[in-house]
Amino acid sequence: MEFQRWLHMSPSSPIKNILQLDLSNRTQVNTLVHSFKFNMRTIGFWLKHFVFEPDVSHYTSEIRRTPWDITRSGKTIGFSGTTFSHQLNPTSVTQVLELPDEPRIGSTDGRMLCLLLKNTDPVILSIEKDGVYWKQVLHQCFRLEVNALIDTGALMTGVASNRKAAEECLVLMATYSKYRGVIFYEDEWVILSRSGECKPASSSPIQASECFAYYDDIRCRGSDLVLRDDAVGLLTCSQDTALDKVIQGAGRLRQFERSQRLRILISPSFPACDQVIDVIKNCTENSIKQLEDALPIWVARGTEFETQNEKGYSVYQCKEKLADLYGSKLEITDLPTYFAGMKNESSDKNFILQQGTELGKGLSIRGAGSNANGESERESEFISESQEEKEIQIENATPREEVPWTAINDVWDAKTANDLQESLSLKDIASECLSPDVAALSSSISCTSNFFDSVNQEMNETRLRILDNFIRFPDGSILLISEMEANSLFKNRNLESAVTLHNMCYFEEDSFDFTAMKLFNGEVQNYEPVILKEFLKQAGRNQGVDLLVSSRDQTYAMQGSMLQNIRKEIESQISFNKFNH
């Protein structure tokens, strides 16, 4: 018997027979825990029957139903205020862009964009990276005395519940007499009065127009409250907020076309914006990216639907072997090739593949081979993760003994770095043994051989010396030197010379050269935004950033950093220009 095997490993247990067990007796239960909590047979039995069996069960096939099944009758009728994703609707659904009795329906998106530009305050607000986001958002609401918070950017995610947010609002509105309460959603729209009494909005003596309105992320689409005619809403945007969500959020102000107005609050991770048009551009780029990511799923679900059985559902054959799930390597494949790996089994399925191939031109996906129908869990996780961290083992290297710097006596009289015979172009020497993308970041900086050749082994990005000391010449040119060379120069410094010796820790300058040096050190913060943006825009420079940040072990610091935000802003601008083109 199983219990007897447990007793064999826990002979000190006072309970020797299973008939003695009484789980309603708390004292006995505590005794059992004390006796068997480290018993491996007990632990194994629990894992086998109560953990692994229900949670790790694997089935040879599964039944799937998708939006394609909901619309299979062809009689589905719905409403959407935007047209951004209509290409990815099931093929049985067609979005009506024009109606004979309502000619303005086709211009909805354009009209809302016009209103956003016209009726939105031009000053873009932001919250600090440090601190609790949701509390900062609410403080901004009451500092600006707005009438509604429209959280399209989900910046209130950290709050425990909508009720908790409303209670915080009561505290903040203590000095503002214009609000009689807070209206928010809790199974239904409810109003929390100043006295703390909470009633459904339908039966409350307080009107929604007299309250501060909180639209949480989900309620930013489709909700309808009667606000003041002159209401001002604060709309939030985060790094991934799409344009259709912004338009839907703005639509919560039902008089937005007349007398109501918006203000925009962006998160620290949102690209730096000075104007409303900048926010629209970034959100447009997010919309494009979301459609690109959804295209492979649309094709996969559509082809599954077209091969359904007569019962009206898809039977998906699960992979059972690890070799099937993890046997092929992850590789980047262009979408037309990815879709070509699907078997053509019906004319409708061919149409879906053809449309997916047409829309997917120029796009790629990272997955295992061309197995589009059965994407494994690791592929899905890869797509959902915005950052993948890798632990890289680096081969040990031995330091190279420095050679005497014969030009050291000529430094103080030189006019430019090129006057010194041992001055080497960092760009030229880096091109020989580093990635071309890294070499492109070198600008017009020079260095000594002792600085660059720091190890006896072959140089690469992981063996680059940290840029610490450098010399600035009268013409503005820079020479990077090693610590030993800097010590020698410091001991024999000439204070009357126009040549100056500097250390990176105590030097600050808004220039391309100094920006390049900070990038070589893998720094991700404290740049001059305009200089950094112009520097990275030049051909080839943006590609080497990841290599340098990774080689300096600064990947963890990239998320939300100034360097990342500027790069995303550049990429968004490029994508926006392509989209307009």
- Mean pLDDT score, 424-431: 78
pLDDT in tens, 514-569: 888 888 888 888 888 888 888 887 755 666 777 788 778 787 788 778 888 888 78
Segment 228-232 long-range contacts (CB within 8 Å, at least 24 positions apart): 228/147, 228/260, 229/255, 229/258, 229/259, 229/260, 230/259, 230/260, 231/147, 231/148, 231/255, 231/260, 231/261, 232/144, 232/145, 232/146, 232/147, 232/148, 232/260, 232/261, 232/262, 232/263
Q: Within 13 Å, how many C-alpha atoms sit on residue 159's CB side?
A: 22
Cβ proximity of 443 and 427 under 8 Å: yes
Q: Is the pLDDT of residue 346 over 60?
A: no
Output the pLDDT for position 371: 44
The pLDDT confidence band at residue 348, using thresholds 50, 70 and 90, is low
Cβ proximity of 170 and 182 under 8 Å: yes
Percent of the chain topping pLDDT 70 = 83
The pLDDT confidence band at residue 250, using thresholds 50, 70 and 90, is very high
Q: Is the pLDDT of residue 198 over 90?
A: yes
Distance CA 167, CA 161 (A): 10
Which of 17, 35, 39, 19 minimizes the C-alpha distance to 27? 35
Distance CA 203, CA 558 (A): 50
Which of 230, 240, 281, 285 minimizes the C-alpha distance to 117? 281
- Mean pLDDT score, 456-480: 85
What angle is formed at CA 195 by the lines to CA 194 and CA 196, rounded to 5 degrees?
90
Distance CA 40, CA 46 (A): 10
Output the pLDDT for position 364: 75
Q: Is the pLDDT of residue 389 over 60?
A: no
Average pLDDT, the chain: 81
Angle, helices 529-537/562-580, rounded to nearest 10 degrees: 50
Question: CA 1 → CA 5, 79, 549, distances in Å?
Answer: 7, 63, 60
Phi and psi dihedrals of 190, rounded to 5? -130, 160
Percent of the chain topping pLDDT 90 = 27
Distance CA 296, CA 300 (A): 6
- Judged on CB neighbours under 10 Å (0-12, 13-18, 19+), 2 is exposed
Output the pLDDT for position 327: 65
Burial 438-457 (b: 16+ CB within 10 A, else e): bbbbbbebbbbbbbbbbeee
If DSSP codes are grouped into helix, strand and coil, which group holds residue 97? coil
Output the pLDDT for position 330: 67
- Mean pLDDT score, 396-413: 85
Q: Specify the amino acid at residue 109.
A: D
The pLDDT confidence band at residue 375, using thresholds 50, 70 and 90, is very low
Cβ proximity of 237 and 264 under 8 Å: yes
- Mean pLDDT score, 113-129: 90
Q: Is the pLDDT of residue 384 over 70?
A: no
Consecutive H or E run containing 26: helix 26-36
223 vs 106, higher pLDDT:
223
The pLDDT confidence band at residue 270, using thresholds 50, 70 and 90, is very high
The pLDDT confidence band at residue 68, using thresholds 50, 70 and 90, is confident
Output the pLDDT for position 470: 93
Lowest mean pLDDT of 134-138, 252-256, 464-468, name the range. 464-468
Q: Is the pLDDT of residue 378 over 50?
A: no
Q: How many CB atoms lie within 10 A of CB 231?
A: 22
Residues in CB range of 24: below 8 A, 6 or more apart: none
What angle is formed at CA 27 by the lines to CA 26 and CA 28, rounded to 5 degrees?
90
Q: Is the pLDDT of residue 75 over 80?
A: no
pLDDT in tens, 285-300: 999 888 888 888 888 8
If DSSP codes are grouped into helix, strand and coil, which group holds residue 198? strand
Question: CA 132 → CA 158, 159, 169, 170, distances in Å?
Answer: 8, 9, 15, 18
262 vs 559, higher pLDDT:
262
Instruction: Look at strands 469-472 and 478-481 and give their pairing.
Output: antiparallel
353 vs 501, higher pLDDT:
501
Instruction: Look at strands 364-368 and 330-334 and give their pairing.
Output: antiparallel
Distance CA 471, CA 416 (A): 10
Cβ proximity of 531 and 515 under 8 Å: yes
Output the pLDDT for position 377: 44
The pLDDT confidence band at residue 76, using thresholds 50, 70 and 90, is low
Instruction: Look at strands 125-126 and 261-266 and give their pairing.
Output: parallel
Distance CA 34, CA 509 (A): 66
- Judged on CB neighbours under 10 Å (0-12, 13-18, 19+), 289 is middle
Output the pLDDT for position 149: 97
The answer, as to whether pTM is greater than 0.85, is: no
Question: CA 163 → CA 185, 219, 223, 234, distances in Å?
Answer: 8, 14, 18, 19
The residue whose two tokens read 């067609």 is 94
Question: CA 540 → CA 99, 285, 378, 435, 551, distances in Å?
Answer: 49, 22, 31, 11, 18
Output the pLDDT for position 98: 67
